[in-house]
Structures are given as structure tokens and as C-alpha cells.
Structure 1
Amino acid sequence: MASFSFHHFLFSLLLLHLLSTTSSAASFRPKALVLPISRDSSTHQYTIKLTQRTPPIPIPLTLHLGGPFLWVDCDKNYISTTYRPARCNSAQCSLANSKSCGTCNSPKRPGCNNNTCGLFPENPFTNTATGGELASDLVQITSTDGSNPTQIVSVPKFLFSCAPTSLLNGLAKSVQGIAGLGRTKISPPSQFSSAFSFPRKFAICLPSQTESVNGPGALFFGDGPYKFFYETDLASLLTFTPLVTNPVSTGATSFPGEPSSEYFIKVNRLRINDKVVPINQNLLSIDGNGNGGTKLSTTIPYTLMETSIYKAFISIFVNELRITNVTIVKTIAPFKVCVDPNTFPGSRGSDGVPWIHFELAGASQPWTLIGGNSFVPVKKDVSCLAIMDGGNKPRTSIVIGGYQLEDNLVQIDLARSRIGFSSSLRLSRTSCSMFNFTSKA
């Protein structure tokens, strides 16, 4: 443990030196940063805008919770006086765990030469990856006191990867790259933490499909408080479970022996109301080949369950619907269970829908999903269960998708290797769209 702490201390010093915040940031040390999260209805992707380059411009990016780093399209109109390629064998290359040198093959990209260390940016929506270059540039972001945005701060040497325009295929319209928030040394949570010396934590609060018109969700870097619309600090709602490390990376850019940058948790038991879903417990653990377990994803729209888990889940869930006389209607592909939402009894829970409880390792209470996270409106008078069959032998047994994370505050504490869940904020009469982005202290 002492050896780990010492190496982590050296890593923090190195990253702090590489990022070296500007004088304006040095005189004002924010305790946290914040960005609005939007939801693209046509792709189900969650997007942010991160200000980058000199002169600075807002760059639309798709969020990838488990992605290893930030990458942007550098082929098309990348102009910046503060762009710097990372030279082979440099400290930046070591920090990024680069495995290649001189990979630049596009003269359109700034700094393209044969002395730049390479990374392999990935598009998880098309499951493709390609060669790209490691570089740094100025990034600006708004700080927060937990209730409001405050002043803008800068990181002049923020590490990212350049990528070709072709890698944008499948991303939301106007998006220019992906913001990977995964467990790596150069992901935005790690870089911002080291630049401003605040805790290695971040939190996401995804806006819901039904309420996104009322306002964006929020992405926080650093610790709370998280006060939405001047309400009580939502950090008080969090229940924690340990992060589980998958020893085998599952991404298209992975190398042998590398752990996954994605976020896994241990589900001990799954309940629907008070009914326990029978599950082969081996599926809930990660084996030596990286198979099994449960992970969180913002790139999968709806939760996926291994077939045997899904069948057991559906059997109990549909029975609970029938007990309350909910009208089950003809299914609409790709969904398997659809209902008339007008027949939900208001006395059953908060919205008449059976509650889904994930009992997590080490957690004092379960993480609970209510109706707004289980049924998605498909057309007039038809809503369908947004939980899907993930197949017989998926790499991960349960993938909790973005729809199930909406209107839930989720804090990822990298320093203490744990994740905190609020359960549905609707139970506290608030939502992820209620953070006050309009006022500045």
C-alpha cells in the first residue's frame, strides 16, 4: 500500500507539472467545475461543450463514461496557436501509456510528423478505432460553488488525441469528438483533478428524455455540494458501493494486460418490488478473462441483461404488472414488453410502476429505479420497458444504460475507488435538469 501511495504521489506531481494551470487559475483555485449535459433525441447520446484552443471555441462532444480519454476531429478546421504535439518518448507519452510513435498519416492534422506519439481513439457507437496523435491544447471550463457557475478557469496543456473526421460517423449531429471519462491518467477527471488539486471525483446527472426540454443535466468535476435549484445538497442522498476493476480491457483500443477503463460494480441481488430475481451468481462476478459483472454505460441507451437474467427478470416484472391490472399491449420492436401507461395505478409506488432494486456490494441501501427509468414513451398511449435482452454470452452480464441513469446523481470517487448512487431524484422532488446554470455568484 505504501508503494502504491508513493507511485500515485509521483504521478500526481508529474501530471500537475505537465498541465501547469494559467496564472488566472493559479490565483483562483476552484473546488469543482461544471458543464451542462444535453440529450440528443435522435441518437440517444449525451453531449457537452468543452471550450478548447486559442482563440477558444466551444467543441461539442459526446460523453463516454468509460472512454479512456478525450479525442477530437483534427482533420477539419483545427486552428489553434496553443496546440502542441506530444513528441515520442516524452513524459506526456508515458502518462498516456502510448504504445506507438510516428503514427500521423494525415497532413491535414496540425503538427503531423513522424515524431509524435500515437493513441487509438475509439467510437463505441460504431465499434471502430483508428490511429491518432497525442497532443495538448488550452482548455477553458466554468468553475462552480455547487449552487451556481462561478468564474472560468484554464488548463493550457490539456492532453487529448487527434482523430480523423471519419471517426465521427454515428455521432450526434455537429459533435466533433468524444469526452471519455474513464479510469485512466489522462481522462478529463484525472487531468482536472491534478490541474486544480481537488479530489479525484466527478459526478454525472443525466437529463431525462421527458424533461430535457426544461434544461440540461450537469457534469461535475471535483467534490460536492450538488445543490439543484437551491435545494438540499444532493450528495447527502448518495449510497456507495466499491468500484470493481475488470482486469481485461474490452475496448477496441486495448492492449494485452491492460485493465478496463470502464466502471464496474458488484450487484449482489436484483429485486422487483419485494420479489427476488433468481440469477446464476457466477454471472454477477468478473472472471479472469474479463467476462461477467455489471458496468455503467452512457453509450448504450437501454439496460442490457444476459438472456437467462433477462428472462427471469421479465417473468417477475410482467407478473407484477398483471397484479396491478396494467394493460399489456402489442409490442413495438425492438422492445419486448409494452403497456398502456394510462392504466398504471397511481397508488403503486410513485408512478404506478414496479420498482427495480439493485442490491449492491457494501451499500447500506439498494439503488432503486422507478417508472421514469424503466418505461420509455414510444407513441401515444404506449410505453415500453427499456430493458433489453443482451444475448446468451455477452462479455458483460448487465450493462446499465443511459436511460436508467437519467435523473440519478452518480458520483464516481476515483481516489476512494467507489461509486455513489442517489436513486431517482424524482423521489426527492427534483431532477437533473434543475441545476441553476443561468446565475453566476
Structure 2
Amino acid sequence: MSIKTGARLVLDLGGPLLWSTCLAAHSTVPCRSDVCAAAAVQDNRWNCSSSTDGRGGAGLCACSAYPYNPLNGQCARGDVTTTPMLANVTDGVNPLYPVAFPVHAACAPGALLGSLPSGAVGVAGLSGAPLSLPSQVAASLKVERKFALCLPGGGGTGAAIFGGGPFHLLVVPEEFGMVSNGLSYISYLRNPKNGGFYLDVVGIALNHRGADVPPDSLALDAGTGHGGVMLSTVAPYTALRPDIYRAVIEAIDAELRLIARTPPSWPFERCYQRSAMWWTRIGPYTASVDLMLAGGQNWTIVGASAVVEVSQEAACFAFVDMGAAAAPAVDHSPAVIIGGHQMEDNLVVFDLEKWQFGFSGLLLGTMTRCGNFDFSIGSQ
């Protein structure tokens, strides 16, 4: 996400803080303050905790926090500071006017940027924690504690919208324009151990035939924080625990046995000849993957969401074994991590007040995509 200076922050759905590198001269926050108390309410993905130091004299001290890099698992101590942010108010179609507001963020040393994408200066935490970006936007601008993400597939610019909808997309025919009218909503689960967003998934099906996933293997243990199906904007592809992965691979082999294979392309194990695939408006159609949700709904991963093109000759099933290096290190052992590729060109909404998750499904089916949010006029 771009900020007012043109610098960029990585979006982390489980992150409790906003953090970036800071100038040597920066403001600090007193340790005996509500903000510092909120900074101490961090998730437990690492063995760091918030603290204070003795700087300031006259019995005063400066508040510190421990920003966390979700890609390499590193954390470091840094001052809590106040910094201005600038966003554009929108009607869901175009930016209307800019609005500035202060946020509290943690400073971080440059070394903590390791493994982040080139040009990133920090991370924007999107969890429900008090100092996450959506919580601070809601408090400063008096909007709903709600945000939407539309991650672009195939390049282009997506959208991060804080405070609720409606959400319009530039599409033809016009009846597809109000995407927010077609969202499916379910309750999400929170893992008290890491602050992440989890879906209550009870099974996985390939082409509507259930994969032989071990019973209860997808459940989240609220006491230990283990298991469950977690949403992640920092995992590149959906990663499955080895026992679940093998069951899904066996199911995909049964469904795609007539499509000619090509050699594996790391980190993908199952790859196929592009020329043997059926190509549709939603991308190469191989098999639909249904995440079977409690309550009877499905989140269907299909077409471009289920497959990644690795060359002009081959496309691969876009799910990886959690043991592979491509899956980021995440504590508390989720059973499944739904990665960014599977969320691309989907509009997803997180309602932090109602604990609800909304999803559109693959937008290519309605002849649009996330790049059709037209926020190019000075969008910040």
C-alpha cells in the first residue's frame, strides 16, 4: 500500500501494528499513556514484547514496541511515534478529496526490512488490535471498523478501502458494477495466539467430490492456537499441512488424470500442459477447489485462482506443501494458509465489529478485476 511519501507498506492481515523505518529525529510516546498500553497488546507470533526505557528524565520514559517482519519472522525494538498519514475519501468509484490524520506507529531499524519486497519501508498491520491500521483509521475518522481488500492479479493496481462500502468497479454490463451487493458473508474465527483471521472450514472438495482430509484436521484449537485455516496476505500461495496436502493432491490426480502433465516446477508439484487445458473467461479451468465452510457455504477457488502459469508450455496447481520453503514461517501451526494468489481478483471484506468476512468470488466471472477500481487520480 502506498503512503503519502510514495513509500510502500506491506499489508499483513495478522499484524497488530503499523511500523516503518524512522528519521533519527522523531517524536516519542510516553510510556505511561493509553497508547503505550495499547502497544503492549500484541499478538504472540514471536518472543518479543512491548517495553519502556528510561529516556526522557524527570521520571518520564519513552514507549517501545517490537515490530515484526511477517516474512522472515524477525522482530526488533523501536520507539512508538506519531506520524501523519494521508488518504483519499472515496464514494467507491473515484477519490473525492484527501484527508490527513495522525497514526501511532513503531520505528524499526533498516535491517528489519529484510525479505520484504523492494521499496517497502515497513508493514501495515490489519488485525483487530488497537493500533492496527483499520482500528486507528476508524478511531481518527469516525468510520466503521471495517476494511476491504482487492488484490490485483497479473499486475495493475488494486484497492484497500477502510471504513466500509459501497464498492464499485468499472465493468460492462453495468449491473455487475455494485460488487458489494453480491458478497457472501460468514463469521470468521480469531486465533488468540496470533491475531490472525481464520475461516471455519470443515472440508475440502475437488469438483464437488470431497478430498480424503483427516477428520477435524482443519479445526482451530482456540486453546493452543494450533490448526485452523488462516488468511494471509504475505504467503504467496495457499499452503497445506503435509497430511492435508497429500489428500488434496490425490484428489487432484483423480480429477485431472486425463490432462497431460509436465515436470514439476518448484514449489509446485503438479504441473500440466497448457495446450491440454480448457481456457475460459476465468482462466485455465482444471478443477474447482471448494473450501467447505461451516453453515453450508463454500468458498470456491477456480480458474486463475487455482492455477499459476509458470511458462508458455506449463501451468501448475497453485497449492504448496507447508513444508516447502515457499511457505512463510508462521507460528502456532495453521492447518492451511490461504495465500495471496488465491485472494487476487477477489473483493474481500473484514468487518471487525461483527466478526464477519465477506468475499465476492473470482471477479473475472463478472468480466472485471481488482485493477478496475479507478483510484488513479492521486490515490494514496
CA distance in 1, matches of 2:16, 2:304: 30
Q: Deviations over 1:126-170 (max 9, x none)?
A: 111111111111111111101111100011x31110001110111
Contact 1:242 1:361 in 2 (8 A): no
Q: Deviations over 1:210-239 (max 9, x none)?
A: 3x1xx3011110111111116521112211
CA distance in 1, matches of 2:340, 2:252: 20
- 2:44 aligns with none
Q: Secondary structure at the match of 1:423?
A: coil
Q: 1:196 to 1:362 in 2, by over 3 A?
A: farther
* 1:102 aligned residue (20, 29, 53): 53
Contact 2:18 2:133 in 1 (8 A): yes
Give yes or no for the alignment of 1:341 onto 2:289: no
* 1:130-169 mapped onto 2 (5 Å cutoff): 130-155=76-101, 157-169=102-114
Contact 1:148 1:440 in 2 (8 A): no
Q: Deviations over 1:184-223 (max 9, x none)?
A: 0111101111112111110111111x3x1xx301111011
- 2:47 aligns with none
Q: Secondary structure at the match of 2:61?
A: coil
CA distance in 1, matches of 2:252, 2:281: 14
- 2:327 aligns with none
Give yes or no for the alignment of 1:355 onto 2:303: no
* 2:252 aligned residue (317, 321, 327): 317
Once the two structures are overlaid, the 10-residue window that deviates more, 94-103 or 235-244, is: 94-103
Give yes or no for the alignment of 1:70 onto 2:13: no
- 1:9 aligns with none
- 1:326 aligns with 259
Q: Secondary structure at the match of 1:198?
A: coil
Q: Deviations over 1:385-418 (max 9, x none)?
A: 2201114997100000111111111100001001
Letter in 1 for 2:290: H
Q: 1:401 to 1:347 in 2, by over 3 A?
A: closer
Alignment RMSD: 2.5
- 2:127 aligns with 182
- 1:241 aligns with 186
Give yes or no for the alignment of 1:263 onto 2:197: yes
TM-score by length of 1: 0.77
CA distance in 1, matches of 2:295, 2:212: 20
CA distance in 2, matches of 1:198, 1:136: 20
Q: Secondary structure at the match of 2:192?
A: coil
CA distance in 1, matches of 2:239, 2:29: 39
TM-score by length of 2: 0.88
Contact 2:146 2:163 in 1 (8 A): yes
- 1:43 aligns with none
Q: How many equivalent pairs are there?
A: 359
* 1:429 aligned residue (359, 367, 372): 367
CA distance in 2, matches of 1:177, 1:205: 20
CA distance in 1, matches of 2:80, 2:291: 39
Consecutive unaligned residues of structure 2, counting only runs of 5 or more, are 42-49, 325-330
- 1:398 aligns with 336
Question: How far 1:278 sits from its partner (Å)?
Answer: 2.1
**Identity over aligned residues, as a percent?**
32
CA distance in 2, matches of 1:71, 1:439: 26
Contact 2:92 2:168 in 1 (8 A): yes
CA distance in 2, matches of 1:331, 1:356: 20
* 2:212 aligned residue (278, 283, 295): 278
Consecutive unaligned residues of structure 1, counting only runs of 5 or more, are 1-47, 52-56, 105-112, 249-259
CA distance in 1, matches of 2:83, 2:36: 15
**Higher-helix-fraction structure:** 1
CA distance in 2, matches of 1:141, 1:367: 31
Q: Secondary structure at the match of 2:139?
A: helix
Give yes or no for the alignment of 1:304 onto 2:236: no
- 1:251 aligns with none
Once the two structures are overlaid, the 10-residue window that deviates more, 290-299 or 222-231, is: 222-231
CA distance in 2, matches of 1:176, 1:440: 20
CA distance in 2, matches of 1:396, 1:377: 27
Q: 1:90 to 1:315 in 2, by over 3 A?
A: same
Question: How far 1:279 sits from its partner (Å)?
Answer: 1.8
Question: How far 1:348 sits from its partner (Å)?
Answer: 11
Q: Secondary structure at the match of 2:177?
A: coil
Contact 1:101 1:114 in 2 (8 A): no
Q: Deviations over 1:15-43 (max 9, x none)?
A: xxxxxxxxxxxxxxxxxxxxxxxxxxxxx
CA distance in 2, matches of 1:404, 1:119: 32
Contact 2:261 2:270 in 1 (8 A): yes
